[in-house]
Amino acid sequence: MRREFLLQVGFVVLVNLLIKPFYIFGIDRTVQNVVAAEQYGLFFAAFNFTYLFQILNDFGLQAFHNGQVARSGRIVGGDLVNLIRVKFLLGLVYLLLVFVVAQLLDYPNDYLMWIGMLALNHGLNSWVLFFRSGISGMGYYFRDSLLSVMDKLLLILIAGLLLWGDLGQGPFQMVWLIWAQGLSLLLTSIVAGILVFRLSGSLSAPFNWHGVRQVLIESLPYALVVFLMTAYTRIDAVMLERMLAEGAVEAGRYAAGFRLLDAVNMLGFLFAGLLLPMFSRLLASGERPDELAATGFRVLVSGAVILAAAVSVYSQPIMAGLYVDGDGYSAQLLTALIWSFPFFSGSYIYGTLLTAHRSLRAMNAVFVWGVLLNVGLNLWWIPSHKAVGAAWVTTLTQGLMFVAQYLLAHRLLRMPYDIRILLRLGMLAGVVVGLGWLLEESSWFFWELRFFLLLGMGLIFTFVLGLIKPELLLGLLRSRSHATD
pLDDT digits (tens, 9 = 90+) for 438-468: 887 766 678 888 888 899 999 888 888 887 7
Q: What is the mean pLDDT of the chain?
A: 81
Closest to 135 measured CA to CA, from 146, 150, 122, 123: 146
Share of the chain above pLDDT 70, in %: 83
Q: What is the pLDDT of residues 275-319, one digit of tens each?
A: 666 777 677 777 888 877 887 888 889 989 999 999 999 999 999
Q: Which amino acid is at 22?
A: F
- Please report which confidence band the pLDDT of residue 479 belongs to, taking 50, 70 and 90 as the band edges: very low
**pLDDT of res. 363:** 87
> 415: which DSSP letter?
P
Q: Is 439 helix (H, G, I), strand (E, B) or coil?
A: helix
Could you give the CA distance from residue 136 to residue 108 in angstroms, rounded to a whole number? 42
**pLDDT of res. 373:** 93
pLDDT at 484 over 50: no
**pLDDT of res. 483:** 42
Could you give the CA distance from residue 71 to residue 280 in angstroms, rounded to a whole number? 14
pLDDT at 96 over 90: yes
pLDDT at 108 over 80: no
Are 441 and 317 spatial neighbours (Cβ–Cβ below 8 Å)?
Answer: no
Task: Compute how many other C-beta atoms are within 10 angstroms of the C-beta atom of residue 373.
Answer: 16
**pLDDT of res. 207:** 64
- pTM score of the predicted model: 0.76
Lowest mean pLDDT among 19-28, 342-351, 375-384: 19-28
Closest to 178 measured CA to CA, from 54, 26, 39, 56: 39
Q: What are phi and psi of 73, to 5 degrees?
A: 75, 10
pLDDT at 399 over 90: yes
- The mean per-residue pLDDT over the stretch 84-90 comes to 85
Share of the chain above pLDDT 90, in %: 22
**pLDDT of res. 107:** 79
Q: What is the pLDDT of residues 227-256, one digit of tens each?
A: 787 777 888 888 888 888 888 888 888 888
**pLDDT of res. 167:** 67
**pLDDT of res. 237:** 82
Are 352 and 318 spatial neighbours (Cβ–Cβ below 8 Å)?
Answer: no
- Please report which confidence band the pLDDT of residue 474 belongs to, taking 50, 70 and 90 as the band edges: low
Sign of the torsion angle spanned by Cα atoms 36, 38, 40, 43? negative
- The mean per-residue pLDDT over the stretch 405-416 comes to 88
**pLDDT of res. 443:** 64
pLDDT at 117 over 90: yes
First to last CA, the chain: 7
- Please list, residue by residue across 13-25, b when 16 or more beta carbons sit within 10 angstroms of its beta carbon and e when fewer do: bebbeebbeebbe
Burial label, 236 (beta-carbon count in 10 A; 0-12, 13-18, 19+): buried
β partners of residue 75: 200
**pLDDT of res. 106:** 80
Could you give the CA distance from residue 434 to residue 450 in angstroms, rounded to a whole number? 13
| More confident call, 479 vs 455 | 455
- Please report which confidence band the pLDDT of residue 408 belongs to, taking 50, 70 and 90 as the band edges: very high
- The mean per-residue pLDDT over the stretch 325-331 comes to 84
Q: What are phi and psi of 75, to 5 degrees?
A: -100, 115
Dihedral, CA of residue 369, residue 375, residue 376 and residue 382, to nearest 10 = 150
Question: How many CA atoms does the CB half-sphere of 158 hold within 13 Å?
Answer: 17
pLDDT at 169 over 70: no
Q: Report DSSP letters for 82-111, one per residue.
A: HHHHHHHHHHHHHHHHHHHHHHHTT--HHH
Q: Which amino acid is at 117?
A: M
